Amino acid sequence: MDYHPEILNNAMIQAIARTDFQTAHRRGFLRKVTSWFTNKDNSLLPFDEVVKQLPICGQHYLGMREIPLNKVIGSVGRYHDFDRAFLPLRTHTKSRWMSIDTAHLQDVILPPIEVYKIGEAYFVKDGNHRVSVAREKGQYYIDADVIELDIDVPFDPDITIREIIRKREQAIFYEKIDKGNTLPDAEFELSITGAYNRLLEHIEVHRWYMGEERKTAVPMKEAIQSWYRDVYKPLVDVIREQNIMAEFQGRTETDLYLWIIEHLQYLREKYCQEISLEEAAAHFAEEYAPGFFRRIFHFFNGRRDPIKLKKFKAPKKNGNCPDS
């Protein structure tokens, strides 16, 4: 609601500000409860933690400018006091929040906030309550003194801490394999943290086998290119041909490569015989795809019977296939 400052006395202004805070605080609480049920992270990003995870190349001052409030996603020191929409979560912010709202109701011009800019996102250095009140009042922009941090990886306002860590791990992985020189056109996206090290292990194992076969050390660049050409890409092609991604919502081709290649090894050890990538991929999808998505996937693809791995003949016991 819009109020005219000339008809408001101090008591009225305080009452309105108090109601505004209570409304915002209640909305913040309800969003927090909703986030518990939806398992959606609704937290402000802590600036120090974000900077720790990103490869910061430097910083420079951009000056004072208008910035979009919906791209302010974090705070230097107040990330526990507000949620991602900058709704207040704690009652100790009430006094400061109401004073800012009071200034707004009286048409008092406030100084610009201070922010750090990373990619397309902003982190509040000073002015968290001003951002909170401005968003609650329906503002789309706010004046800010901006310092931009230089990074060489994409960074957007919808990112979470987990995604930041994954991007950092991806950057380290790309650096270790010298991606620009070894696989300039390839992309490796993982949805889980800590998994890029497993990709490196796969490459190292592939390199070791190449060395054993040749009886000589294999250059890392050659091993990486061979692994991609002879192991990674063929399995990704199978994943695409069988449309397995449709059964694993929110996952990536690289996720499925890791899971299926390890599932393939398990099946070969279990049955003690050669199993194709196609069979391993189909069996993995049948065993591990979420039931709902699997049924929908089968229905729309005209498949009434579940995918089944072909029946293997039980091998004779030998030294290479011990009793389990």
- Please give the domain boundaries of the chain with CATH numbers for all domains: 5-151 (3.90.1530.10), 161-300 (no CATH)
Name the band, by pLDDT with cuts 50, 70 and 90, for residue 210. Answer: very high
Report pLDDT digits (tens) over 42-96: 889 999 988 888 878 899 999 999 999 999 999 998 999 999 999 999 999 999 9
Spatial neighbors of 109 by CB under 8 A, at least 6 apart, are none
Report pLDDT digits (tens) over 104-141: 999 999 999 999 999 889 999 999 999 999 999 999 99
Report pLDDT digits (tens) over 237-287: 999 999 999 888 889 999 999 999 999 988 888 888 888 999 999 889 888
pLDDT at res. 314: 38
Nearest to 250 by CA among 40, 42, 31: 40
* Predicted model pTM: 0.60
d(CA 240, CA 150): 37
Nearest to 85 by CA among 95, 75, 98, 99: 75
- Whether the CA torsion 117, 123, 126, 128 is positive or negative: it is positive
Nearest to 96 by CA among 83, 110, 84: 110
